[in-house]
Amino acid sequence: MPKPSASAKRRSVGAVRASFAPWADPGAVPLIRVASVTKRFGDAVAVDDLSLDIYGGEFFCLLGPSGCGKTTLMRMIAGFEQPDTGTLTLAGQNLAGVPPYRRPVNMMFQSYALFPHMSVERNIAFGLRQDRLPKDEIAARVAEMLRLVQLEGLAGRRPDQLSGGQRQRVALARALAKRPKVLLLDEPLAALDKKLREETQFELMDIQHELGMTFIVVTHDQEEAMTMADRIAVMDRGRIVQVATPGEIYEQPKTRFIAEFVGDVNIIEGQVAGQEAGLWRVAASPAGAPLTIDDPDEVLHSGQAVAIAVRPEKMVIQREPFPAGRPNVLTGTVWDIGYLGDWTVYRVKLDTGAIMRVSRANASRFVEAPIDWDERVSIAFAPDAAVILSR
């Protein structure tokens, strides 16, 4: 439970306030429960004593660099690998020994894996035929799926006659046709170009919301995860580092790994110099005076070495020095400027040699006397704009 902070009002992390949060409800039962699962391939440990709860109706994301074990975990849920130790439970049923063709889980493959010798219609109907549904019911379901992914009229085509984006929709339709309890998506947007990727992201979210299904997406692309997910599990080397909403992951990273993996960040190292009125004082060499950080959830002692994370957009940059008494002020010279149209990114070399990234929205079209290369600038950030990283 968070300790009472200096401010009495409840603060919401991140800019978006989610009203859907079954994980916070103590009475909710998770749909999928992963309990102490380990999986080894020879000497390499792919998944290391991992535990996770996923709730029904979630758009869940497994995020991490390649080799972190996210794909292995997904394949274990699908049934293509079996855990060496631990249990996997789906809707209360233990999945041990249950083959993939008997699980109420369907997967959308990264390569789409469309059957090249079957038409779109037969691809989508394949799963339904295995269940021996009556013909007219199959036909109705296939038509419904085609409408859902906006591919009506292409039922008779073969996969090699479709574009990449169309093939992806067929793969999605095929995986949804059986109304599985859980849909697994393996890097669903990896093969699409940027424009298509953005559109598809929102479409996936719409479909998931409309059908009320649980989606689990495996991806290495943090933008994808941040956009689509209700919750993200960041994985590294077979373990889960943090499970939280995108907002919490971005604004309250638990470790340095997460702070650096998701988005850009400035890391400042220092030592705790004490606590004053609920705010931590940290002596850090890049700054003149010790920094003032508002992070009430941390328990620290004097002299402890800490790392502070500040996102570039939370910093203020200006030419004129700040008035005295303003907390968390750093000074340096502009080393690099990146103009991105909507944002400008400044890389500032502090007097100590460290480089800080500061980004600022270009909120107006015309700027008088813009900051230039090699200018002396001052940077400041608010006490609650920084996070103290525990590791």
Partner 1 sequence: MRGPAQPLGARLASALVPVVPYLWLGLFFLVPFLIVLKISLSDAAVAQPPYAPVFDWADWRGFIEGLDLENFELLLSDSLYFDATLSSLRIAAVSTGLLLLVGYPIAYAMARAPVSWRPVLIALVILPFWTSFLIRIYAWVAILKPEGFLNQALMGLGLLSEPLDILNTEAAVFIGIVYAYLPFMVLPLYAALEKLDPSLTEAALDLGSTPLRAFWQITVPLSWPGIVAGSLLCFIPAVGEFVIPDLLGGSETLMIGRQLWSEFFSNRDWPLASAVAILLLLILVVPIVIYRDIEARRLEARP
Partner 2 sequence: MTARRFSLFNATSLALGFAFLYLPILLLVVYSFNDSRLVTVWGGFSTRWYGALIQNEPLMEAAWITVRIAFVSAALATVLGTLAALALTRYGRFPGRRLFTGMVYAPMVMPEVITGLALLLFFVAVNLDRGFWTVSLAHTTLTLCFVTVVVQARLVSFDRSLEEAAMDLGAPPLRTFLFVTLPLIAPSVIAGFLLAFTLSLDDLVLASFNTGPGATTLPIRIYSQVRLGLSPEVNAASTILVGIVAFGVVTATILSKRSVLRSRRNAH
* Residue 194 binds to partner 2 (criterion: CB under 8 A): no
* Residue 97 binds to partner 2 (criterion: CB under 8 A): no
Candidate segments 3-11, 95-103, 343-351, 375-383, binder of partner 2 by CB under 8 A: 95-103
The Cα 40–Cα 74 span in angstroms is 15
Count of helix runs (H) and strand runs (E) in the chain = 8, 20
Q: What does the angle CA 172 – CA 196 – CA 115 come to, to the nearest 5 degrees? A: 35
Which strands, in side-by-side order, build the sheet including 44-54?
A: 44-54, 32-41, 85-90, 93-94
Closest CA to 380 of 271, 292, 282: 292
Taking CA atoms, 228 is separated from 54, 61, 75, 174, 217, in Å, by 16, 8, 21, 21, 9
CB 209 within 8 A of CB 19: no
Q: Which does 263 bind (CB under 5 to 8 A by kind): partner 1, partner 2, none?
A: none
Largest CA distance in the chain: 78
Candidate segments 48-56, 97-105, 232-240, 328-336, binder of partner 2 by CB under 8 A: 97-105
Which residue in the set 22, 64, 79, 246 belongs to the binding site for partner 1 (CB under 8 A)? 79
- In angstroms, what is the minimal distance from the CB of 115 to partner 2? 6
Which residue in the set 14, 86, 100, 263 belongs to the binding site for partner 2 (CB under 8 A)? 100
How many residues contact partner 2, by CB under 8 A? 29
**Stretch 45-84: interaction string toward partner 2, x if CB under 8 A:** ---------------------------------xxx----
The Cα 34–Cα 301 span in angstroms is 36
Candidate segments 11-19, 93-101, 206-214, 280-288, binder of partner 1 by CB under 8 A: 93-101
Candidate segments 98-106, 214-222, 235-243, 254-262, binder of partner 1 by CB under 8 A: 98-106
Which residue in the set 86, 100, 165, 180 belongs to the binding site for partner 1 (CB under 8 A)? 100
CB 22 within 8 A of CB 56: yes
Q: Which does 245 bind (CB under 5 to 8 A by kind): partner 2, partner 1, none?
A: none
Which residue in the set 2, 26, 92, 99 belongs to the binding site for partner 1 (CB under 8 A)? 99
Q: Which does 97 bind (CB under 5 to 8 A by kind): partner 1, partner 2, none?
A: partner 1
* Residue 93 binds to partner 2 (criterion: CB under 8 A): no
- In angstroms, what is the minimal distance from the CB of 311 to partner 2? 39
Candidate segments 1-9, 110-118, 216-224, 305-313, binder of partner 2 by CB under 8 A: 110-118
Q: Which does 208 bind (CB under 5 to 8 A by kind): partner 2, partner 1, none?
A: none
The Cα 136–Cα 139 span in angstroms is 5
- Residue 354: partners with Cβ closer than 8 Å, 6 or more residues away: 268, 286
Q: Which is nearer to partner 2, 67 or 100 (CB)?
A: 100
Q: Within its chain, how far is the Cα of 264 from the centroid?
A: 14
Residues in the chain: 391
Candidate segments 18-26, 94-102, 143-151, 243-251, binder of partner 2 by CB under 8 A: 94-102
**Type of residue numbered 238:** G
**Type of residue numbered 353:** G
The Cα 80–Cα 99 span in angstroms is 8
Q: Which residues inside 195-214 make contact with partner 1, applying CB under 8 A? A: none
- In angstroms, what is the minimal distance from the CB of 77 to partner 2? 11
Closest CA to 211 of 179, 186, 185, 188: 179
The Cα 18–Cα 335 span in angstroms is 39
* Residue 190 binds to partner 2 (criterion: CB under 8 A): no
**Stretch 144-163: interaction string toward partner 2, x if CB under 8 A:** --------------x-xx-x
Q: Which residues bind partner 1 (CB under 8 A)?
A: 41, 79-82, 84, 96-100
